[in-house]
């Protein structure tokens, strides 16, 4: 039994030996590190690691079709030459020729300016400035729809956008935080900084041409749904901490050294001046490296904070609603089973009044940990607000969610919370219906939670 439990995730993905392989032609953006790129003719980056997971845990056999640019990838997808691309955002324009998996990788978009420009904060504050974005990226349609009055310049690549900012040709470049950080390191562009955030974040998915989506999407979604959270985190950590090593050109250094030797032969006292200058430069370089490391750490923290609740570590309400909206659209199209669970701490106000708000915060933190242990890796838990929590459970039957809810109740009842020792929760549960909207589904779940509280609390009630 222990052996089976230890290798449960591997067993889920074992493909029968007689399964027939499915050949798929795919394309990647050749210059979008760390997400994906072509390096010396080899597919590299985050998408390669996920491609490996898809290939190992399904019958899909991936065959890469070379493309010179992201625009060429788009052309190949429209023409059917490429049948799939591994990492892109969903947009209304792309939905005309692609269908999409559920999102499996998330990241913020940012504004980049020169170091001397004051804090821009967000895209609205950039009105009146020249803004650059790569042609064909989803951010183009986002700005056309929500910020039609902005002065947008379309660029061929992200590197061209960053260089255009550095050279003063445009004021702001808009793009992905991870890929921008990689480009700044790789090309040693020192006079730029992250200077604001864009409301829309990257929710990267696999895009499949419509003629093959019915065949491929169920397979890919199943693999995505079963990837453990730790595997996602390991991939992110490997690529967000990647250092780009460049070869130093020592020609100029040799020339300066030779000149210094000649000068020392003539004027020995200049040696002291040169040594002082060198020491000063070394110190300044060390300070710059330290500042760069602090900036990278700050960017990572901001990326995490943008979609997590700072107290419980669960997703925040904004992230949950964004993910809920996308998954809901998938459920409506494909009629998947799914469940929604609302959890409310019983008599939480009395806990705060009796023990203080610090005790209440401790209770929320520990309850968040118990909630994450009770649910599955593919579920989406979030702090809904105050003492309320919500969990979206894709591909979940009524029996599945009943087991999770009962397990959560039992774990909370037996848990020793700091200071207050004991607390209980009330839970409302409902299943997805074909005629549901997001609003009606949430309302039915909230009604079930209300019934649980009215009937004595510390219990589960299911929506009729």
Residues 6 or more apart whose CB falls under 8 angstroms from that of 407 comprise 374
Q: Flag whether pLDDT at 398 surpasses 60.
A: yes
Residue 34 preceded by cis peptide, ω within 30? yes
Angle at the Cα of 208 (from 202 to 214), degrees rounded to 5?
Answer: 125
Alpha-carbon distance of 136 to 208, in angstroms, equals: 17
| More confident call, 232 vs 49 | 49
Q: Is the pTM of this model over 0.75?
A: no
Task: Please tell me the predicted confidence (pLDDT) of residue 248.
Answer: 39
Q: What is the DSSP string of 257-305?
A: HHHHHHHHHH-TTHHHHHHHHHHHHHHHHHHHHHHHHHHHHHHHHHHHH
- Which DSSP symbol is given to 119? P
296/437 Cα distance (integer angstroms): 41
- Helical H segments across 187-269, by residue range: 210-226, 229-240, 251-266
Interatomic CA distance for residues 108 and 178, integer angstroms: 8
Is the pLDDT confidence value at 7 over 50? Answer: no
Instruction: Calculate the alpha carbon distances from 452 to 115, 371, 411, 440, 447 in Å.
Output: 55, 18, 18, 19, 9
> For residue 381, what are its two tokens?
């838990």
pLDDT of residue 350: 92
Q: Which of 215, 247, 387, 388 is catalytic?
A: 387
The tokens describing 258, both together, are: 């030779």
8 compared with 100, residue with greater pLDDT: 100
Length of the chain: 464
CA distance 375 to 415: 17
* pLDDT at residue 252 in the model: 42
Q: Would you call 439 helix, strand, or coil by DSSP? A: helix
pLDDT at 453 over 90: yes
Task: Check if 387 is active-site.
Answer: yes
188-217 per-position pLDDT tens digit: 888 898 888 887 788 899 999 999 999 999
454, HSE (Cβ side, Cα atoms, 13 Å)? 8
| pLDDT tens profile 122-153 | 888 888 899 999 988 888 888 888 888 889 99
């Amino acid at each position: 039994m222990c052996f089976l439990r230890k290798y449960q995730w591997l067993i889920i993905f074992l493909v029968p030996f007689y399964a027939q392989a499915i050949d798929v032609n795919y394309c990647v953006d050749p210059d979008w590190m760390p997400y994906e790129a072509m390096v010396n003719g080899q597919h590299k980056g985050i998408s390669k690691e996920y491609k490996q997971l898809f290939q190992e845990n399904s019958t899909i056999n991936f065959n890469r079709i070379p493309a010179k640019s992201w625009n060429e990838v788009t052309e190949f997808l429209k023409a059917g030459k490429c049948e799939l691309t591994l990492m892109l955002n969903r947009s209304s324009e792309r939905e005309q020729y692609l269908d999409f998996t559920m999102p499996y990788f998330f990241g913020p978009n940012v504004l980049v300016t020169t170091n001397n420009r004051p804090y821009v904060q967000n895209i609205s504050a950039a009105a009146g400035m020249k803004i650059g974005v790569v042609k064909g990226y989803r951010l183009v349609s986002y700005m056309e729809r929500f910020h039609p009055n902005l002065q947008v310049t379309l660029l061929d690549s992200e590197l061209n956008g960053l260089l255009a900012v550095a050279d003063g040709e445009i004021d702001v470049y808009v793009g992905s935080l991870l890929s921008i950080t990689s480009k700044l390191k790789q090309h040693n562009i020192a006079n730029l900084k992250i200077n604001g955030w864009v409301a829309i974040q990257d929710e990267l998915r696999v895009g499949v041409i419509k003629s093959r989506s019915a065949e491929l999407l169920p397979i890919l979604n199943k693999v995505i749904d079963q990837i453990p959270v730790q595997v996602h985190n390991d991939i992110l950590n490997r690529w967000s901490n990647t250092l780009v090593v460049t070869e130093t050109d020592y020609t100029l250094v040799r020339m300066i050294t030779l000149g210094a030797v000649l000068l020392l032969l003539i004027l020995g006292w200049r040696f002291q001046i040169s040594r002082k200058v060198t020491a000063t430069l070394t110190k300044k370089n060390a300070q710059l490296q330290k500042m760069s490391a602090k900036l990278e750490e700050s960017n990572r923290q901001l990326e995490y904070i943008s979609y997590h609740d700072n107290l419980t570590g669960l997703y925040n309400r904004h992230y949950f609603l964004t993910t809920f909206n996308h998954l809901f659209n998938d459920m409506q199209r494909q009629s998947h089973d799914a469940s929604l669970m609302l959890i409310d701490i019983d008599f939480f106000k009395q806990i705060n009044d009796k023990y203080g708000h610090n005790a209440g915060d401790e209770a929320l933190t520990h309850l968040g940990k118990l909630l994450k242990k009770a649910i599955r890796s593919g579920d989406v838990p979030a702090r809904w607000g105050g003492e309320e929590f919500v969990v979206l459970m894709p591909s979940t039957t009524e029996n599945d969610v009943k087991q999770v809810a009962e397990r959560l109740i039992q774990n909370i009842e037996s848990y020793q919370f700091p200071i207050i020792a004991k607390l209980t929760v009330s839970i409302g549960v409902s299943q997805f219906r074909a005629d549901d909207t997001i609003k009606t589904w949430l309302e039915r779940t909230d009604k079930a939670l209300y019934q649980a509280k009215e009937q004595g609390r510390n219990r589960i009630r299911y929506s009729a």
